Structure 1
Amino acid sequence: MPRILYASDLHGSDTMFRKLVNAAIVYKADAIIVGGDITGKGIVPIVKKGQEYYMNLYGATYNASTQEELNELIKKASSVGFYPYVFDREEDVKTLDNEDTFNKLLLQLSIERLRSWIEYAESKLKDQKIEFYMMPGNDDPLEIDKTLNGSQIIVNHSDRVVDILNDEYQLLGNSNANITPWKCVRDIPEEELKEKLEKLMAQVRDFSRLLLNTHCPPYGTSLDLAPKLDKDLKPVVSGGGLAMEHVGCKSVREIIEKYQPLLGLHGHIHESRGAEKIGQTLILNPGSAYNEGVLMAALINIDKNKVKGYMFLKS
């Protein structure tokens, strides 16, 4: 009975990625699937002042006076998805005020982190019979695809239908999302997304043995509820709490309703961990707590054209 370990929205968290790889070994998974948004969102300067280094993270200041302590600062920032960068002169931090300089460094560090993940996976899984599939998400820059495609162990399944689990099943991946307020590089209109998914569905042999992995969850479910934002992109408060609204993809829902794949694997909305059914299709969003260095994932057992059981993990 094949077992799948699924996670999404790692957002550069070193700790989350390493936990995922090791969890696959511990739980004897046959395949790891990662559903997008794999790069981090920011740079954390570590600045040398005198004989010490200082770092500000989530409003707290940390210092290091030895190389070992400096390594710990780097590890602390990396564990929650940031890219630490050491400046030996305080005045050099101001170079990050230039948007072009900042974006170039962010991309460089994103690619370096991804390369280190690939090397880690190759070292840990070289003697394991675990298939590994990982795709970008709407937040991820297009430039990372070349690095991901160069891996000998991780398969980029975005905009592809690939045979998995000894060719007994197929995995369809899509890294896009409908247009978000942030207008991310892989955001596209619903009509275009629907067209892409339909073309991919034409490559599927048996929908009852299809794992549909779209980064964006289907619209109007418990998996796509996110805080409602005002015109300034600030959360709307209503009745003493956050107002929530559905933000998923209508086209993804239409595809699931029409073709009824075995399983829908989704991410994108970190707050909406959950599971439900659309017709006969079980859909899952494991959620994400990357900014805490916490792995949130789903462990799923399948057998022929049935989902035999699943459990959510948090570690």
Structure 2
Amino acid sequence: MRILHISDIHCSYAYLERILGILNELNVDVIVVSGDFECNHDIIGMLMRQNVPIVAVPGNMDDHYIARLLREQGIAIDAQCRLIGGYYFTGISGLEVYTSMRKAEECLRKYREKTILVTHHPPRASKIDVTWGNVHAGLPDITRLIEEYKPRACLCGHIHEARGYEVIGKTLCINPGPLALGYYAMVDLNKNEVILEEL
């Protein structure tokens, strides 16, 4: 499975147009958005016009209107469990973290290594949650879920300066960096490969 992973769009229409303009060249099976759209239906509409499955969670900078739009368009996976290409995608919202976490845990418990966990916040005490001030700003409960259920991947965002990837236990964890700065990640689960890209 090939995944285009983006996060932290922050109303950056120009970068979103550029990444969608090369989508056919990227040959992806699914687009994953780890939150912080920060704009309304225009950004979501741009994504919905693609011929590729899309899954997303709202970020902490998104409001409940954006969260509702994601649900109405059928791309929200926070507190849900959706099968795409042999993997069960589940998500944790950046708005209602602990409510959606309980539902995501049900999916993780049932499907374990066949799940892909999509979150806005990164796991705690990892390379992908370190702020400029050298503080770990991820969520310990996400680390717990990863260690306990060993999902295939955890795709997150939120900490702009902590762009990168690492393996926690058996789980490939990726923070692509903010699309608002032109960053994205290509994830190939068949090859266990992550390529951090810049537009």
TM-score, length basis structure 2: 0.90
Q: Deviations over 1:258-312 (max 9, x none)?
A: 111100111000000011111111111111151xxx4211111123xxx531211
Distance (whole Å) between structure 2 residues aligned to residue 121 and residue 218 of structure 1: 26
Aligned partner (choices 122, 146, 150) of residue 217 of structure 1: 122
The residue aligned with 1:251 is 141
The residue aligned with 2:183 is 296
- Say whether the 8 Å CA contact 1:24–1:32 is kept in structure 2: no
- Say whether the 8 Å CA contact 2:151–2:171 is kept in structure 1: yes
Distance (whole Å) between structure 1 residues aligned to residue 9 and residue 179 of structure 2: 8
User: Counterpart of 1:218 in structure 2: which amino acid?
Assistant: P
The residue aligned with 2:77 is 157
Alignment of 1:180-259 (within 5 A): 186=95, 193=98, 196-204=100-108, 205-227=110-132, 243-259=133-149
**CA RMSD, aligned part only?**
2.0
- Tell me how far 1:122 sits from its aligned partner: 4.2
- Tell me how far 1:147 sits from its aligned partner: 2.5
Aligned length: 198
Aligned partner (choices 272, 289, 313) of residue 162 of structure 2: 272
- Tell me how far 1:149 sits from its aligned partner: 2.8
Aligned partner (choices 128, 131, 139) of residue 53 of structure 2: 131
The runs of 5 or more residues in structure 1 that have no matched partner are 40-109, 177-185, 228-242
- Say whether the 8 Å CA contact 2:121–2:156 is kept in structure 1: yes
| Structure with greater proportional strand content | 1
The percentage of aligned residue pairs carrying the same residue is: 27
The residue aligned with 1:10 is 9
Larger Rg: 1
Q: Secondary structure at the match of 1:202?
A: helix
The runs of 5 or more residues in structure 2 that have no matched partner are none
- Name the CA shift for 1:119/1:254 in 2 (closer, same or farther; >3 Å): closer
Q: Structure 1 residue runs of 4+, over 6 Å off? A: none
